[in-house]
Amino acid sequence: MPGANPQPHATSLSRRAVLGVGALGALALAGCTSGSGSGSGSGSGADSAAGTATSGTSAAGSSSATGSTTSATSATSGTSASTGARAALSAPVDAATGLRVPWSGAVLPDGSVLVSERDTALVKRIPAGGGAVETVGTVQGVDAGGEGGLLGLAVDTATYASTPVLYAYVTAGSDNRVVTIAMGGGRFGAQTPIITGIPKGNIHNGGRLKFGPDRFLYVTTGETGRTGNSQNRDSLGGKILRVTTSGEAAPGNPFPGSRVWSWGHRNVQGIAWSAGGQMWASEFGQDTWDELNVITPGSNYGWPTVEGMAGQSGFIDPVRQWHTDEASPSGIGIGPDGAVLMAALRGQALWKVPVGSDGSTGEPEKLLDGEYGRLRDVFVGPDGNVWIITNNTSRGQVRDGDDRVVRLPQSLTG
């Protein structure tokens, strides 16, 4: 049973016949799932003082509801976004609609959620408790094209209240870079590059940003279609990087002075950590195997020499693999029950991979099969439920209301 799901080869024109799966896009980054099974930082700890209707107020426990002017009552949702106990939903509920190529979600300590739009370079905010989405600011210097643009977002939830800084992964004119954005008053202030020189291409730009449980910033990059980057440890392409908040190599990295944490990647668009600290990464395969990997520092994940489970010495095999028409995985997160959740673009589904207490994986389960089209990101929202971001406005079939951010009921995700 090598593959997670032995779904046969892509029959000729299967679904949406997107070419080159890997090309799909970058990843979104869900700012949240890093910590553990319950939605790091934001919502989970909040007590449930918040009732239902009063959305405009920040239910989430802390800090001011920075600039969230909206006071719309979240009529449809039934619960405000950051109640401590998981909000009881009986069916999926839209948290936002009408977005343009949304790419990543980051949960702020006040219970609001920031969402990046790849091509417009806008960051939008879903207010705590729901309500109308507002534009927070435009990320400077974004040169959107192909799979590039404004990609991942992240915040360090441990320090955000005192030092509100947003981290963004952007495709600029000549490279991919990570920038910091001062968020005083909930609006964009100074924008400062902290990593430059990540290879840029029309495809495979990577783009996920997340803070790990060690509070360092992890950055996923793509090989931009130039496969030589992956096995070249001096290139920032085709890697997972681990850096300080100023973009320097983090202490304890496996190669002295280097930002590289792991290598031999093609295009990683999803990272997350289990409660016990185990790090996971999703990865687009070329045309054979998409991968779910367990990441260990300094390890080589094989691209372009091998794809999927190859059993070749010197390379770390994925723990699960999918045919590319079944997955083409972007963002991943850890669900409330500890499973790895993986947003699939071409596969148009949310894959749930159970994780045992020893870190081993169980048989993947395919959720939401086709129901929302292509999925770009998944994270635990401030209400403790799993949230997904769709990706139908850049490819695929646009449905009324696309693209959207959707809150999922516990009955669906576990």
For residues 284 and 301, which CB has a smaller minimum distance to Ca ion in the complex?
Answer: 301
> Phi then psi for 105, rounded to 5 degrees?
-120, 140
The answer to the question of residue 302 lying near Ca ion (CB under 5 A) is: yes
For residue 266, the minimal CB distance to Ca ion (Å) is 7
Judged by CB, which is closer to Ca ion: 320, or 346? 320
> What is each CA distance from 293 to 211, 272, 318, 358, in whole angstroms?
18, 11, 4, 15
CB of 222 to Ca ion, least distance (A): 13
CB 227 → Ca ion: shortest distance, Å? Answer: 12
Size of the site for Ca ion (CB under 5 A): 2
User: How far is the C-alpha of 241 from the C-alpha of 259, rounded, in Å?
Assistant: 5
The region of 141-149, 301-309, 319-327, 347-355 touching Ca ion under the rule CB under 5 A is 301-309
Burial of 168 (0-12, 13-18, 19+ CB in 10 A): buried
Residue 359 C-beta: closest distance to Ca ion, Å: 18
- As measured in angstroms, the least distance from the Cβ of 322 to Ca ion is 13
237 in contact with Ca ion (CB under 5 A): no
Residue 334: closest CA among 291, 371, 279 = 279
The answer to the question of residue 109 lying near Ca ion (CB under 5 A) is no
**The sheet that has 122-126: what strands, in order across it?**
102-107, 113-117, 122-126, 134-138
Q: Nearer to Ca ion by C-beta: 66 or 235?
A: 235
- For 239, the 3-state DSSP assignment is coil
Nearer to Ca ion, 142 or 281 (CB): 281
Span of 100-108, 161-169, 188-196, 293-301 interacting with Ca ion by CB under 5 A: 293-301
Nearer to Ca ion, 207 or 302 (CB): 302
Q: Which is nearer to Ca ion, 63 or 232 (CB)?
A: 232
Residues 6+ apart with CB under 8 A from 76: 93, 94, 130
Among residues 267, 266, 247, 269, the alpha carbon closest in space to that of 258 is found at 247
Q: How far is the CB of 282 from Ca ion (least distance, A)?
A: 11
Residue 301 within binding range of Ca ion, rule CB under 5 A = yes
Q: For binding to Ca ion (CB under 5 A), which residues are involved? A: 301-302
